[in-house]
Amino acid sequence: MSHTRESAKRGEVVLDIRDLKVAFASGDDAKLAVNGLDLQVKAGEVVALVGESGSGKSVTSLSTMGLLPPNAMVSGSVEVTGHQVIGLPEERMRKLRATEIAMVFQEPMTALNPVLTVERQLTEALETHNLAFGQAARDRAISLLERVGIPDAAKRIKQYPHQFSGGQRQRIVIAMALTCEPKVIIADEPTTALDVTVQADVLDLLRELKDDLGVGILLITHNMGVVADMADRVSVMFMGDLVEEGTVQEILYRPQHPYTQALLAAVPRLTDVALTHDDEAGRLEAERAGAAEAKGREVVLSAKSIAIDYKVKSGTFRAAEGVSFDVAAGETTALVGESGSGKSTVAKAVLGLLPTAAGELRVQGRDLASLKGKEAKLARRAIGVVFQDPAASLDPRFPIGECIMEPMVVHKVGTKAERVARAMELLAAVKLPADVLNRYPHELSGGQKQRVGIARALVLDPSVLIADEPTSALDVSVQATVLEMLKEIQADFGFACLFVSHDLAVVDHLADNVVVMKRGQVVEQGPTERVLHFPQEDYTKELLAAAPVPDPDAQKVRREARHRLLGIGTS
Amino acid sequence: MNTPETPEALGASVAAVEDAQLAAKQDSLSQGRLVWRRFIRHKPAMISAAVLVLLIIVSMTSIGIFGIKGWWPYDFKTTSVSINGGVPSAQHWFGQEDIGRDYFALVMSGTQVSLIVAFLVGISGTVLGTLLGAIAGYYRGWIDSIIMRIADIFFVIPLLLIAAIVAKTASGAISSPWFLGIMLGVVSWAGLARLVRAQVLTLREREYVEAARAMGASSWRIILKHLIPNCIGTVLVNATLATASAVLLETSLSFLGFGVKAPDSSLGLLISQYQNSFTTRPWLFWWPGLIILIIALSVNFIGDGLRDAFDPRQSGRVKKRNLAAAALMGIRPIPVPTTAERAELAARERAASGPPRGGAAGPVDAAETERTDEEEGR
């Protein structure tokens, strides 16, 4: 095989999955992960495989690559450009990988080897498949890097993965997948680990590659916005079954299966955004509405131009500066921004886990940083916190009941019976059965664990609840349930909520006020209605334009609007 | 599948399906119970545990302990006429030694002492190592530096040397097995402390620890309630291994004359006392040696079983039972070609000079494919 070998003709089926069944041995039993999947990918098209966790979409991608673990049992047929993959001996499968079928992984940081240069990693596949060696391989690697949009490729190819940004690393992973000109690329959640603006760029790149090289892409994702942006056809999986398939318009506009309908209904949408033109009248009205609400607020949490430092080896690093906001009882203020914006840092300072370097941070009128010992402990009773990762935020050795009651034990509140009664009350509030009290975290799903996390945060009846990306680790439909629950509980309990998130649609759904942050600075803040629908700052507009919506036609319009905003030609 | 409910029936929401599954669940197993279930299925560990328990019971009941008399008629201190040169017999199971003392009684007494020392070392070394390691890992900074530098000292000085020096300076008390056990424990905590510290360093970054700190829990509560219980796997496995090596350490110390002293006896001391009779009365050497072997092996196997039980990520293989379950789901694996058959198949394909078209291989059970001849690195 050489570089100039013919690429597959457009419209030719390059990946053909028929009646694929995969089961995993567990104990004495077997668990079915994929139940009779049929799927075709043609050259030059993007097929999206959509589903939530446990739907079997990742198992499908592993089967096509022949990477299933030894306790898997497979039947059916998977053909990659005419080669039967199921039952293929490993040494023959290895010859197909990279040359016929390649994979783009979710997390670019772990998909690249940190101790090898980018050059070594790009030329490795060429050399193992005897396609190019030495200078020829290097030249090809450089041209690939240029192709995926890494500037100054000839020089940067000598660098190590950590010297590139997250988006660039994902571009390098894509370049690695392209080295041997495969006919099929499996992209397993390729943009999930990236910020929205970077995600939009990477999706643009994938779209270009599909058009120019004519590869077939199997895009595995849970994000309906990405589907609308990229896919030609869509297959929806639910618990191992293929429930629906069709063109992107059919699935997103006229879903037939109740699961698809429910899934689409659960996706938070952010519509009516004035991106390019200035709707002055609307803006003023939105501002007036915000001002009217502002009367009679009982401010619980207030920050006045606070700054937060991190200690690093060479002195200090200012992670946030000049951040001011206040949150009143019953209100939700959202801190939004991309990674490195300092939004979580501010949340940690409010929790008292980080000291403020300047400014004033008051919870119920008390400055947390200045309190010591007993007083600080007392002040902390007023703050509840919900963490990002439900799997890590509950101690695996504690039964759920003890997890929920722990704050009461720490603060010596109530007798044992009273604590149990309170835990039951909160479990009812988050709609979990009472017998969960004696279960262990590993028996619960992610969404259920997060509901336990909310119950624990509320056990001492706090006046402030800090929610640090509480739904980013959850599936869409579960996220909808948890957010709805959070809203209801806030109405009942009346706490002030500081909501940290990167998802603008979720924020629009939940928050009264928004603070947009970038590199430790506040870019724009104000009532949600004003900031997210009539944004004034370019950065806010850029963020809003980059987040894809689950509507193929509207997304096309937004994509072009974004390209205009950034001043790049539409592709 | 565990979910008889169709998506339609539940409004097609994952959350609803999960809640229904949760409500339908019957038994609730803690992590500890799950580990225990895996442990009792580990055959070598269970056999070893039975052997060890039997040995403990026999050694305690035969000659008695704490002054209570046992069922064995002889005492290990009284001398008597040596029958037939002291060869093992129905009367004296393990024979008699040179001055006519019953050797079974002597070995059982030595076993008691060796076991007491081994368990004392295991317990005291484990408690010290876990606590110091957890403190070092949790507080970091200078506390960590001090504790780990002390641990380094114990690493660079040979254990036998420390033990010998302590034994010389406290020659009176050292002969007591209790003192010996505690002393050996105090000097053998460093390895475990390192392991626990490393694990605590990662555990302390978990969100549940941050959650505990955010709710105002004290450092001690976090260490004792959250960090140490989550290290329990490492700690238990290493406690058993430390106990096994303590049996050997006690043996070597007593053999060298730094450990247990007469009239107390221990397995190591017995070997040392009767090393000269190896040619004339070999059983005096073999019996204590055999008991040492049994203790060390069985404790090691138990440690192995514990490690497998705590870390179930063993390479799962498909068993017959799994295949039956899979067949119910419509997966019918066919016999997998052997290496020879595969070579033949490849030859035939080369002759046909074309890639195999779909379906030719039929449904194949990928799990039963021989993986021994495959490269692991991908």
pLDDT digit string, tens, across residues A364-394: 888 776 777 777 777 778 888 898 888 888 8
Q: Which of B22, B212, B317 sits opposite A444 (nearest CB)?
A: B22
Q: B15 vs A35: CB contact, 8 Å cut-off? A: no
pLDDT surpassing 80 at residue A476? yes
CA-based nearest distance A345→chain B, Å:
14
Q: B221 vs A410: CB contact, 8 Å cut-off? A: yes
Question: Could you tell me how far CA A94 lies from the centroid of its own chain?
Answer: 31
Residues 6+ apart with CB under 8 A from A124: none
* Domain ranges (residues) in chain A: 14-266
Q: Please write the tens of the pLDDT for every residue from B198-218.
A: 999 999 888 888 888 888 888
pLDDT surpassing 80 at residue B20? no
* pLDDT at residue A3 in the model: 44
Q: B316 vs A70: CB contact, 8 Å cut-off? A: yes
Q: Which tokens sit at A375?
A: 């007083």
Give the residue among A271, A326, A228, A263 at the shortest CA–CA distance from A53.
A263
- How much is the average pLDDT of B325-337? 56
Give the residue among A458, A457, A455, A509 at the shortest CA–CA distance from A479.
A509
**pLDDT band, very low/low/confident/very high, at A496 (cuts 50, 70, 90):** very high
Taking CB atoms and an 8 Å cutoff, what residues of chain A touch B348?
none
CA-based nearest distance A34→chain B, Å:
10
Place of tokens 């049994």: B294
Helix, strand or coil, per DSSP, at residue A235? strand
d(CA A142, CA A135) in angstroms, rounded, equals 10
- How much is the average pLDDT of A500-525? 89
Nearest CA in chain A to B12: A259
* pLDDT at residue B348 in the model: 65
d(CA A78, CA A96) in angstroms, rounded, equals 13
Q: Please write the tens of the pLDDT for every residue from A95-122.
A: 888 888 999 988 888 888 989 999 999 9
CA-based nearest distance A12→chain B, Å:
16
Instruction: Tell me which range, A111-120, B4-13, B94-103, B177-186, is most confidently predicted by mean pLDDT.
Output: A111-120
Domains of chain B: 43-310 (1.10.3720.10), 320-368 (no CATH)
d(CA A329, CA A464) in angstroms, rounded, equals 8
pLDDT surpassing 50 at residue B367? no
- How much is the average pLDDT of A135-163? 89
Task: Tell me the DSSP string of B291-357.
Answer: HHHHHHHHHHHHHHHHHHHH---------HHHHHHHHHTT--PBPPP-HHHHHHHHHHHHHHTSPPP
Q: Please name every residue paired with A186 in a beta bridge, in sequence order, or none if there are none.
A: A103, A218
* pLDDT at residue B368 in the model: 39
Residues 6+ apart with CB under 8 A from B350: none
Q: Are A71 and B316 in contact (CB under 8 A)?
A: yes
> Prior bond to B263 cis, omega within 30?
yes
Best residue in B29, B36, B215, B323 to probe A by mutation, most A CBs within 10 Å? B215
**pLDDT band, very low/low/confident/very high, at A470 (cuts 50, 70, 90):** confident
* pLDDT at residue B362 in the model: 39
Taking CB atoms and an 8 Å cutoff, what residues of chain B touch A28?
319, 321-322, 325
Amino acid, single-letter form, for residue B35: V
* pLDDT at residue A332 in the model: 92
DSSP code at position B102: B
Helices of type H across A294-360: 343-351
Of B24 and A145, more confident:
A145
CA-based nearest distance A17→chain B, Å:
10
**pLDDT band, very low/low/confident/very high, at A279 (cuts 50, 70, 90):** low
Q: Which of A25, A94, A435 sits opposite B316 (nearest CB)?
A: A25
pLDDT surpassing 50 at residue B376? no
Nearest CA in chain B to A68: B366
- Report the C-alpha dihedral over residues B110, B116, B119, B125, rounded to 10 degrees: -110
Q: Are B245 and B297 in contact (CB under 8 A)?
A: no
- How much is the average pLDDT of A179-191? 89
pLDDT surpassing 90 at residue B144? yes
* pLDDT at residue A348 in the model: 85
Residues 6+ apart with CB under 8 A from B2: A31, B21
Taking CB atoms and an 8 Å cutoff, what residues of chain A touch B1?
31-32, 239-240
* pLDDT at residue B133 in the model: 94
Amino acid, single-letter form, for residue B124: S
Give whole-number Cα distances, A290 to A293, A298, A299, A513, in Å. 5, 16, 16, 9
Q: Please write the tens of the pLDDT for every residue from A310-360.
A: 877 777 888 888 899 989 988 999 999 888 888 888 888 888 778 888 888
Phi, psi of B68 (to 5 degrees): -80, 135
Best residue in A55, A73, A378, A427 to probe B by mutation, most B CBs within 10 Å? A73
Q: First CA to last CA across chain A, in angstroms?
A: 31
Task: Tell me the DSSP string of A368-416.
Answer: GGG--HHHHHHHHTTEEEE-S-HHHHS-TTS-HHHHHHHHHHHTT-S-H
DSSP code at position B82: P
Q: Are A405 and A457 in contact (CB under 8 A)?
A: no
Helix, strand or coil, per DSSP, at residue A303? strand
Give the residue among A237, A240, A161, A90 at the shortest CA–CA distance from B378.
A90
Q: B322 vs A448: CB contact, 8 Å cut-off? A: no
Average pLDDT, chain A: 85
* pLDDT at residue A375 in the model: 79
Taking CB atoms and an 8 Å cutoff, what residues of chain B touch A410?
212, 215-218, 221
d(CA A72, CA B365) in angstroms, rounded, equals 8
Q: A477 vs B13: CB contact, 8 Å cut-off? A: yes
**A-B C-beta contacts closer than 8 Å:** 235
**pLDDT band, very low/low/confident/very high, at B127 (cuts 50, 70, 90):** very high
Residues in chain B: 378
Give the residue among B257, B283, B288, B258 at the shortest CA–CA distance from B270.
B288
Of B65 and B47, more confident:
B47
- How much is the average pLDDT of B77-101? 73
**pLDDT band, very low/low/confident/very high, at B69 (cuts 50, 70, 90):** confident
pLDDT surpassing 60 at residue A402? yes
d(CA B348, CA A218) in angstroms, rounded, equals 33
- How much is the average pLDDT of A197-225? 88
CATH number for A14-266 (one of 1.20.120.450, 3.40.30.10, 3.40.50.300, 1.10.600.10): it is: 3.40.50.300
Q: Is A97 left (phi over 0), alpha (psi -120 to 50) or beta?
A: beta
Taking CB atoms and an 8 Å cutoff, what residues of chain B touch A25?
316-319, 322, 326, 367
Q: B367 vs A71: CB contact, 8 Å cut-off? A: yes
Phi, psi of A263 (to 5 degrees): -65, -45
pLDDT surpassing 50 at residue B378? no
* pLDDT at residue A478 in the model: 83
Helix, strand or coil, per DSSP, at residue A103? strand
Element (H, E) at A497: strand A496-501
d(CA A379, CA A369) in angstroms, rounded, equals 10
Give the residue among A136, A219, A135 at the shortest CA–CA distance from A177.
A219
Nearest CA in chain B to A23: B326
Q: A90 vs B374: CB contact, 8 Å cut-off? A: yes
d(CA A186, CA A85) in angstroms, rounded, equals 15
Helices of type H across A77-178: 90-96, 108-111, 118-128, 134-147, 153-156, 166-178
Give whole-number Cα distances, A529 to A105, A509, A558, B218, in Å. 37, 10, 19, 42
Helix, strand or coil, per DSSP, at residue B97? coil
Taking CB atoms and an 8 Å cutoff, what residues of chain A touch B19?
431-433, 448
Instruction: Tell me which range, A67-76, A298-307, A391-400, B142-151, is most confidently predicted by mean pLDDT.
Output: B142-151
CA-based nearest distance B316→chain A, Å:
5
Give the residue among B186, B195, B79 at the shortest CA–CA distance from B124.
B186
Residues 6+ apart with CB under 8 A from B227: B134, B137, B138, B200, B203, B204, B209
Q: What share of chain A is helix, strand, coil (3-state, %, to 5)?
A: 45, 25, 30
Q: Give the ipTM of the model, two decimals please.
A: 0.74
Q: Which of A18, A387, A396 sits opposite B230 (nearest CB)?
A: A396
d(CA A173, CA B13) in angstroms, rounded, equals 34
d(CA B154, CA B135) in angstroms, rounded, equals 18
Q: Are B303 and B42 in contact (CB under 8 A)?
A: no
**pLDDT band, very low/low/confident/very high, at B3 (cuts 50, 70, 90):** very low
In chain A, pLDDT over 90 holds for what percent of residues?
A: 18
- How much is the average pLDDT of B145-157? 90
Instruction: Tell me which range, A431-445, B102-116, B126-140, is most confidently predicted by mean pLDDT.
Output: B126-140
Q: Please write the tens of the pLDDT for every residue from A249-264.
A: 999 999 998 888 888 8
Place of tokens 């002492």: B113
Q: Are A365 and A542 in contact (CB under 8 A)?
A: no
* pLDDT at residue A376 in the model: 75
Taking CB atoms and an 8 Å cutoff, what residues of chain A touch B233?
none
Helix, strand or coil, per DSSP, at residue A29? strand
d(CA B184, CA B125) in angstroms, rounded, equals 8
Give the residue among B300, B299, B309 at the shortest CA–CA distance from B233.
B309
Q: Please write the tens of the pLDDT for every residue from A8-44.
A: 667 788 999 998 888 887 666 777 888 888 999 998 8
Place of tokens 């390059």: A14
Task: Tell me the DSSP string of B222-260.
Answer: IIIIIIHHHTHHHHHHHHHHHHHHHHHHHHHHHHHTSS-
Give whole-number Cα distances, A183 to A85, A95, B60, in Å. 15, 14, 73
pLDDT surpassing 50 at residue B338? no
Half-sphere exposure of B22 (CA within 13 A, CB side): 25
- How much is the average pLDDT of A173-178? 90
Place of tokens 């254990």: B159
Q: Which tokens sit at A543?
A: 């963020």
In chain B, pLDDT over 90 holds for what percent of residues?
A: 14
Q: Please write the tens of the pLDDT for every residue from A528-553.
A: 888 888 888 888 888 888 888 888 88
* pLDDT at residue A285 in the model: 64
pLDDT surpassing 60 at residue A189? yes
| A299-312/A358-363 β-pairing | antiparallel
d(CA B235, CA B198) in angstroms, rounded, equals 12
Give whole-number Cα distances, A173 to A155, A167, A305, in Å. 18, 10, 41
